[in-house]
Structure 1
Amino acid sequence: MPLAALRRAARETVSGLPREFWWLWTSTLVNRLGAFVATFMALYLTLGRGYSASFAGLVASLYGLGGVISSIGSGVMTDRLGRRPTLLVAQSSTAVSVAVLGFMRDPVAIAAVAFLVGMASNASRPAVQAMMADIVRPEDRVRAFSLNYWAINLGFAISSAAAGFIAEFSYLAGFLIEAGMTMVCAIVVFAKLPESRPTRIGKEAVEEVGLGTVLRDGRYMSVVGLSFLVALVFQQGSVGLPVAMGKAGFTPADYGMAIAVNGVLIVALQIPVTRVIQKRDPRRLLVFSSLLAGYGFGLTAFAGSVGIFALTVCVWTLAEIVNAPTQTGLVVRLSPVHGRGRYQGMYTMSWSVAGLVAPVMSGFVIDRLGAAWLWGLCAVVGTGAAAGYGALMRRLPAEGTATGPAMAVAEAEAGAA
């Protein structure tokens, strides 16, 4: 592609987005650049502290459980207190709890603080996504969510590489660096991001947007359930794949080489692929990405070398690139303006629950039936999710509208105005 064309494509990708979005994007990138603890927690507990692998697994589960619980709570805070206060509380709490975790020595204290870190670190997600939906025009949201997802993966790729070097020097340094960088994110939010929560119009109508509203929204909760299925498949890249490769005689370095393709492709392709998909039918994109994810992992059953494993990673990574911004955009599209925090919290929870279920599922299937059954199950789950998206979204509402209880709230707000 000519240089002029590349420049034009880059300009079109980043143009038209408000300044507040870029400060939020910067906060996301800095946060992920400092995300060391989740990367080396298992090594820290087993090699650095001498605990068993079982204890490391327990701590990881508590960390994930904290994220499940905070997803709903932070969604409510986002709607009631505002996006900015929720972000400040979440990021400040993350910084403090991560720093404290680095000094814990007692196993009970480590487990308890890890649970708090999981709660705090996950609490900012509904607020970030709700704020992004507030400040970005509907036609630009898929592009904005894609850019944010790109920042997440770029930051994670860099922090993952740096984590190993930092761990060799000092595990405590990793905890303190993450705490410091997370506090920088809180400062950015405090100094540069104004509150974006839409003005409340019609008090009684706004009060109707509760968790019950979300739970009664059948179409939306079905989308959350389908999101859980897709997340369950994607989680196998970090929980099922390394176990299966290990049992097949491959080394951790082999797994590292195969999974590195995921981060490289996301950083390289997320933005150009988004330029292709942002104006396309989200139903078809979600059906396509679900099938691609399921059968991408399904192909792993036939992998016998690192190169083939890497090729299967390429397949399901493309599904991830398409699915992530499309799914997040759909969540906003189905959410009432004054209930975005709660709706985003429920969506975030689907991924957190998948993070808890996936390790148990993969371990059980691999131990009892073999890895080939796990990859076949991924294909079945992906197919089921694709069928579900196809059935649920035949009459997708127009941009800016909602359905079910959410639609009733929107109509009440309009009447109050």
Structure 2
Amino acid sequence: MKTLFNNYIDTFRGLSKEVWWLALITLINRAGTMVIPFLSLYLTTNLEFSLSDVGWVMTSFGLGSVVGSWLGGKLTDKIGYYKVMVRSLLSTGILFIALQFLNTFYSICFGIFLVMTVADTFRPAMFVAMSTYSKPENKTRSVTLIRLAINLGFSAGPAVGGLIITTMSYGGLFWIDGITCILATILLVKVLNPKSTTPLDSIKNEKPESAYKDKVFWIFLASMTIFGIMFLQYFSTMPLYYKDIHMLTELEIGLLLGLNGLFIFILEMPLIKWLENSKHTKVGLMLLGAILTAVSFLVLNTTSWVGILLVGMLFMTVGEMIVFPFSNAFAMERAKKGNQGEYMALYTISFSIAHIFGHNAGMQMVDKLGFNSTWYIMIGLGFLCIILLYILKQYLRIKNETS
């Protein structure tokens, strides 16, 4: 047991203190994101929105994410990651607190759009900061550490969020979201001021290539958008499936979603280190993760046994544990060719686009076709994602052989 523990600790060695600070800031911020997993339930239960209305609110969520990610990339290349991160976190905290006071369809749509526009300027800036403070050989593990912080926050967030809803109300979630963003801002200012930190991988290109002309990157982005549409069902339509079909309570839903983050916290870093030492390429590993995620939907339609929800969650969790770190590392590696902010903005935008179409399409399909048919459509999207990643893998293999 001691050897196992020491081996687990070894997977974290070699990462810079700045990356650890970024992880802690992310943990504080994400621990308060209790609103997001419960947003569809909040809108249908408290505000009595229809599933169709919820779909359009989620589309506003995605549109704000697209605008914010694009703006964040531009601002990062122009004024630097630090200023973007500070302003984004502080403003997001204030906006989250204000969001609870909106209760009409159009005001909610606008409010969600504004919150996500401001919030997601943070993401490209954070990725560039992480790349700057990571040695080249540690980038995938640095990504994984940040994801561990995100998922540890998400594992605590839904569980505590479900408890707060049960004992108090949805309103408290908005206050916690806002306060944690403000706390994260204070910590960021204290520990990551560029005047007192040292970059480990500062990349400056005299003639940077435009990410918009990188055909390989566009194939990659298309596959990630499709993967995002599948993945996001677990945080929009899936909670409704748990409640309406399997009769789970908000607390049980929160605990089930929390298990996702807990499994990632325990298993992802050792898994990533082991996979990094394998002979598989980053794209080949993403391909495996996409297959597992598609299977997570397939198993749900095989039985009405409530335990299958945990099995599906496990397949999805392992799939995302593989796809997200290696896709992020692939994007950062590709970003060395051009403006880092631009590349990382497009990477985050691919998931923002998934927010636009994934939540809304999922809600509309559930409303019109039912859950089982929706899961089969997600399996079909998974197959398309797998095909794109296979094409990308073969293209890069041929290119490497001829270069």
Is this a same-fold pair by TM over 0.5? yes
Q: Pairwise mapping of residues 364-383 of structure 1 onto structure 2 (< 5 A)?
A: 364-383=364-383
* Shift, 1:28, TM fit: 0.4
Deviations 1:347-374 (A, max 9, x none): 1111111122123333444454443333
Deviations 1:218-260 (A, max 9, x none): 1001100000111111122233434445564544466556544
CA distance in 2, matches of 1:368, 1:163: 30
Gapped regions of structure 2 (runs ≥ 5): none
3-state DSSP of counterpart to 1:393: helix
Partner of 2:130 in structure 1? 132
In structure 2, do the counterparts of structure 1 residues 315 and 177 end up closer, same or farther at CA, with 3 Å as the change threshold?
closer
3-state DSSP of counterpart to 1:14: coil
* Shift, 1:379, TM fit: 2.6
Which residue identity does 1:184 align to in structure 2? L
Which residue identity does 2:185 align to in structure 1? A
Task: Note if 1:231 corresponds to 2:228.
Answer: yes
Contact 2:70 2:345 in 1 (8 A): yes
Which residue identity does 2:262 align to in structure 1? V
Task: Note if 1:82 corresponds to 2:80.
Answer: yes
Of 23-32 and 255-264, more deviation after overlay is shown by: 255-264
* Shift, 1:75, TM fit: 0.9
Contact 1:79 1:338 in 2 (8 A): no
Q: For this pair of structures, how many residues does the alignment match?
A: 388
Which residue identity does 2:227 align to in structure 1? V
CA distance in 2, matches of 1:248, 1:91: 37
CA distance in 2, matches of 1:351, 1:268: 25
Task: Note if 1:264 corresponds to 2:262.
Answer: yes
Deviations 1:287-316 (A, max 9, x none): 111111112212221131111222122112
Contact 2:229 2:359 in 1 (8 A): no
CA distance in 2, matches of 1:359, 1:286: 23
Of 276-285 and 133-142, more deviation after overlay is shown by: 276-285
* Shift, 1:103, TM fit: 4.2
Task: Note if 1:177 corresponds to 2:176.
Answer: yes
In structure 2, do the counterparts of structure 1 residues 102 and 245 end up closer, same or farther at CA, with 3 Å as the change threshold?
closer
Partner of 1:164 in structure 2? 162
CA distance in 1, matches of 2:39, 2:236: 15
Which residue identity does 1:233 align to in structure 2? M
Contact 1:242 1:252 in 2 (8 A): no
Partner of 2:292 in structure 1? 292
CA distance in 2, matches of 1:186, 1:99: 15
3-state DSSP of counterpart to 2:25: helix
Contact 1:198 1:338 in 2 (8 A): no
Contact 2:294 2:378 in 1 (8 A): yes
Partner of 1:217 in structure 2? 214
* Shift, 1:172, TM fit: 4.5
Which residue identity does 1:84 align to in structure 2? Y
Q: Give the TM-score of the pair, scaled to structure 2.
A: 0.86
Q: Pairwise mapping of residues 53-68 of structure 1 onto structure 2 (< 5 A)?
A: 53=50, 57-68=55-66
Partner of 1:6 in structure 2? 5
Of 376-385 and 29-38, more deviation after overlay is shown by: 376-385
Which residue identity does 1:216 align to in structure 2? K
Of 143-152 and 289-298, more deviation after overlay is shown by: 289-298
Contact 2:21 2:192 in 1 (8 A): yes
CA distance in 2, matches of 1:46, 1:159: 20
* Shift, 1:43, TM fit: 5.2
Q: 2:273 aligns with which of 272, 275, 285?
A: 275
Which residue identity does 2:178 align to in structure 1? A
CA distance in 2, matches of 1:8, 1:251: 38
Contact 1:244 1:366 in 2 (8 A): no
In structure 2, do the counterparts of structure 1 residues 244 and 396 end up closer, same or farther at CA, with 3 Å as the change threshold?
same
Partner of 2:117 in structure 1? 119
3-state DSSP of counterpart to 1:334: helix
Partner of 1:412 in structure 2? none
Deviations 1:253-284 (A, max 9, x none): 66556544423322221122122112332122
Contact 2:132 2:202 in 1 (8 A): yes
Of 216-225 and 56-65, more deviation after overlay is shown by: 56-65
* Shift, 1:31, TM fit: 0.4
CA distance in 2, matches of 1:349, 1:154: 24
In structure 2, do the counterparts of structure 1 residues 108 and 75 end up closer, same or farther at CA, with 3 Å as the change threshold?
same
* Shift, 1:24, TM fit: 0.7
Deviations 1:3-35 (A, max 9, x none): 13412431x222111111111111100101122
Contact 1:262 1:313 in 2 (8 A): yes
* Shift, 1:383, TM fit: 2.5
Partner of 2:202 in structure 1? 198
- Percent identical among aligned pairs is 24
Partner of 2:89 in structure 1? 91
Q: Which has the larger radius of gyration?
A: 1
Which residue identity does 1:285 align to in structure 2? L
In structure 2, do the counterparts of structure 1 residues 40 and 367 end up closer, same or farther at CA, with 3 Å as the change threshold?
closer
In structure 2, do the counterparts of structure 1 residues 370 and 176 end up closer, same or farther at CA, with 3 Å as the change threshold?
closer
Q: Give the TM-score of the pair, scaled to structure 1.
A: 0.84
In structure 2, do the counterparts of structure 1 residues 157 and 5 end up closer, same or farther at CA, with 3 Å as the change threshold?
closer
In structure 2, do the counterparts of structure 1 residues 46 and 146 end up closer, same or farther at CA, with 3 Å as the change threshold?
same
* Shift, 1:336, TM fit: 2.5
* Shift, 1:95, TM fit: 1.5
CA distance in 2, matches of 1:257, 1:35: 15
Deviations 1:157-177 (A, max 9, x none): 112222234444355543333
Partner of 2:25 in structure 1? 27
